[in-house]
Structure 1
Amino acid sequence: MSTSELVGDTGDVLKALRQWEEAGTAPFEPAPPGRWGDRVGLAERAVRGEGEALGPLRAEVRRLPEDEQLLDTPAAAGAMSYFLSLLRALGAPAQGEYARAVGVVVDRVSGGLVPVEHRCAVHNRMAAVLAELGFTARAREALESALRAARTPLETAYTLSRLATLEADLKDWPPARRHAEEAGRLAEETIGLAEEAVGLDGGVGAVHLAEPVVPLPEPRVPLAQQSPRPEQEWLDVRMRCASVLLQAERRGAPPGDPRVAALAGALVGVCAAQVDRWGAGHPRALEALVVRVSAELAAAESLGDLESMGRLTEVLMGVARCSVSALGARHPQALAARAASTEAQRVTVRARDQGTHPGTRSHAPYTHR
């Protein structure tokens, strides 16, 4: 699919985001049952301004270390992720509770207190939370322990791809590239993609999983959405790997580098499949769209296509605005969309100011077949 044909996927995702915004809520059910439901309920009441909820909420946070089942399942990890986001949203009135809850998470993860059968999924979830909060060293430790606890090829590849993404964010390129390549090789070996694989030609073939796996959870449970299927998770792995390898290859690459264009084409293909499989009304479709448009932008920059760079930057700006309004400014996908938009604006302005590639091209930098 060419750059000029992005309007289909983009329009579908933006339409879903605007529907969430108009309805005043994203399609999530945040409150789990049981003890976590009580904690989350108190935090939500406090965020809504019900001052009488603060006392019981503080008491619940003080009791967190006593809960032996605090992070014993992926569902509990998702609840903790949402609970932390609510405490952070409270700001000063819950600053101490927020710090205390983060400390409990660090202790549980670093102390190896999560049951081994759920450790991979739980540590992956908590690593994402810790990285978002700026505790990158702790996040890295959590992912390394998750890797040791992985029991299936998918869990191993998923964790490797998450680790590669974190290392890329830290600009630690040698291990980022190595882990991305390792996860990619594992995907090839496990799902037997052969000629129909997502390859450097950007094609997307059928995905067949060799064995059943336990899918890793999102932090909150989508309503009216089925759980992630193995082929969706494998596409997620491939998307992260391709994104890291593209970022690594772009460093110091000359204008028009064919390897950059090829990697960008592969990434676009995977992202298009993600949007198709998840549907426009899912946050993972938004993530795939942001990654995809960023890949299109990278290829356009490589070819000096300033016209396409400007158009793609506008797309990312629109996605960022809608995602913040619909999902909330602190939602991970909204933060990612906003960061991608900011980077796109910086890169496009720099390219125009430097005039490195004075000519523009009206054709797309590459085509997804």
Structure 2
Amino acid sequence: MHAVYAADPAQSRGRVYRPSASPTRNEFQRDRDRIIHSTAFRRLQHKTQVFLHHEGQHFRTRLTHTLEVSQIARSIARALRLNEDLAEAVALSHDLGHTPFGHAGERVLSEKMAELGGFDHNVQALRVVGVLENRYAEHDGLNLTWETLEGILKHNGPVVGDASEHGQDIAAALADIPASEDLLAGTYANLEAQVAAIADDIAYNAHDIDDAVRAGLVVIDDLVDVPLVGPIAREVIEMWPGLERGRQIHEVQRRLITRTIEAVIAESAERLIAAAPKSVDDVRHAGRALIGFPVEMAEDEVELKAFLFAKVYRDARVMGPVRESEAVVGRLFDAYIAEGDMPGRWGLAHSTAGSEAARARIVCDFVAGMTDPFALDEYARLFDDRPDFR
């Protein structure tokens, strides 16, 4: 049985368009299914997580990362008696707004759109599920429940002020996204969305270590003095000193995931007891996140991120392709702005848009939705060139 502060699909604030009744699925399960069957979800298979797709078939993509986040979110939600279906729906949709080439593409679009309404991948995910998916006969978008939309927007916390973290004009952005009620941007999200957010942190900390070892940027000995992961690395080396390095790093990864999940469950249970919310609205107005790491683990997790930033994300072997991919996204954006040479509905919408900002938003939506291979194909078409990032 779910806790009183868990989201209840029977009490959902609903959808913009009323769907036909389902005898077998609740409203959050229907959201999950709509997300999985969307075009944007399939595109995640060919979008960069950290390492570009050409560098190896076993590195994480946005899709495999999303699936790992979903599994972790369900585990935490189940232990805390929350709604697993909503946690899964938010986890599956949380990266739908990401650009080709990972955060490199996001940085470029943020710069290009800085004076034209801004760009933020969480807000873009709302645009994807609310406006840009166009396969249904009766409406644009996926027509998701209010609670899933709330989770997509606020899983990282309240949106405070007039702009998102990356400078997107929140009021203008939300005005274009259909929702059954105001999304209450300034409050905390439901607990299921908070679970999806921390599952995201747990997943990428663990899998970025694994991918960094695969890429030859890190060896297990580099980890022994790193907060959070160091004690686990020392334990594994001591237990299996002669084990092949791939198996050693997998043991580190799986223990890191398990221990952080268990710590989050214990810490969050204590926070929930202390806050004693009696409803989802109590959660929204609790004044703090009720799902989180213990204090010491949170501090260690920041140090682990700093290690990964220095040793992996800013390594020259990563940054070279990153800079080239930024150039690809930037040149594509500028070419489409100048010529409007986009296929199908995109080119038509660009030619009939009434303002510079409207034209730029169409280009931004088109570029943000690209997979890495499609971006390179378009680059080759427009510039008769194809960077190989090697």
Q: TM-score range by the shorter chain?
A: under 0.3
TM-score normalised to the size of structure 1?
0.22
TM-score normalised to the size of structure 2?
0.21
Between 1 and 2, higher relative CO (CA 8 Å, sep ≥ 6) is seen in: 2
